[in-house]
Structure 1
Amino acid sequence: MTTHTQHHTPTDNAPEHPARLQWAQLAPDVYKAMVRLDAASRQGLDPTLLELVKVRASQLNHCALCLDMHSKDALAAGESVERLIQLSAWEESQHFYTEKELAAIQLTEAVTVLTDGFVPDEVYAKAAKQFEEAELAQLIAAITVINAWNRFGVTCRMAPGHYTPGDIKH
């Protein structure tokens, strides 16, 4: 029995679904406020850790645009391909990450999913142990901001594949 693996090669890099709405052009004041909020939320956070958080939230939210953007930014900043690939299975690949990164990833999942309506005390306590209070406040802000970006991207069906590291970040 022969197994064939099918490889898909994009011919024209066209998205599967057309964008629904160009929200940034239609609500420019909201977009500009989001960019400022994003910049403020980054202050005092390690850039590598921040990209891991943004990629993980974007994985959970199925935001292709943000996955494209933040995986490229992470790689450009020196992140390893291996750690990015393992991020979706971090619970089985904890040895790739520091305790601080694991606490941030777990907090990202708790804030992003909120299935029980709250962030569990043990998840918060683990993060509070790894981060100084001001840094933890910034981390919570960054997680909240990427979730907002994800919701714009997913709702408006913003297409991935056109971002180059160094472009305007969110």
Structure 2
Amino acid sequence: MTTTNTTENPTAHAPRLRMAELAPEVYKSMIALDAASRKGIDPALAELVKIRASQINHCAFCLDMHTKDARKNGESEERIYLLSAWEEAAGFFTEKEQAALALTEAVTVLTDGFVPDAVYARAAAHFEEAEIAQLISLIITINAWNRIAVTTRMAPGQV
């Protein structure tokens, strides 16, 4: 277990524990779930979804990883910067991407305890049922990773 010296930097966070070592079966299962959830999803869209969920969940580790991955896949800096305000910057994102981002936000936040019908219908207009199932799986998986990373305080810049 690692602790943080908060007298030097009261906002600094050191990793709490190494999940991969302490719960290896769970960690390996998460890696397999992650791989399975990405099947059939455009890699560029997958990274946008992962970045947006990670923004909402305040997961610095995942934001660092997925913005780097998005850049490697050719994503523009401008779209990465505008992703947190995608609704106001709708002209930078396709209708399909906007539908996926709306679904990402609804599944991630679950503000009213459910995903609104209008959000689901918007996604259904752009994705086949099997694609929606994969997209939901991707959103659930990145949310699980965010919760692991935030809870265990995985440090950004290590991937």
The bucket for the TM-score relative to the shorter chain is: over 0.9
1:40 aligns with one of 22, 36, 40? 36
Correspondence for 1:95? 91
Within 2, Cα distance between the matches of 1:107 and 1:94? 15
Correspondence for 1:109? 105
Amino acid at match of 2:37: S
Task: Say yes or no: does 1:151 pair with 2:147.
Answer: yes
Correspondence for 2:116? 120
Within 1, Cα distance between the matches of 2:158 and 2:20? 16
| Pairing 1:1-20 to 2, within 5 Å after superposition | 16-20=12-16
1:59 aligns with one of 55, 58, 67? 55
Within 2, Cα distance between the matches of 1:48 and 1:77? 7
Q: Which runs of 5+ in 2 are unaligned?
A: 1-10
Correspondence for 2:137? 141
Within 1, Cα distance between the matches of 2:12 and 2:157? 12
Shift of 1:91: 1.2
Q: What is the TM-score of this pair, normalised by structure 2?
A: 0.92
Correspondence for 1:129? 125
Within 2, Cα distance between the matches of 1:141 and 1:150? 14
Within 1, Cα distance between the matches of 2:38 and 2:103? 16
Amino acid at match of 2:55: Q
3-state SS of 1:136 partner: helix
1:69 aligns with one of 57, 65, 72? 65
Shift of 1:115: 1.3
Amino acid at match of 1:121: D
Deviating beyond 6 angstroms after TM superposition, the runs of 4 or more aligned structure 1 residues are none
Amino acid at match of 2:140: T
Amino acid at match of 1:83: R
Q: How many residues align?
A: 149
Within 2, Cα distance between the matches of 1:62 and 1:24? 21
3-state SS of 1:92 partner: coil
Q: Deviations over 1:130-156 (max 9, x none)?
A: 001111100000000000000000011
Task: Say yes or no: does 1:79 pair with 2:75.
Answer: yes
Q: Which runs of 5+ in 1 are unaligned?
A: 1-14, 164-170
Amino acid at match of 1:34: M
Within 1, Cα distance between the matches of 2:139 and 2:129? 15
Shift of 1:162: 1.9
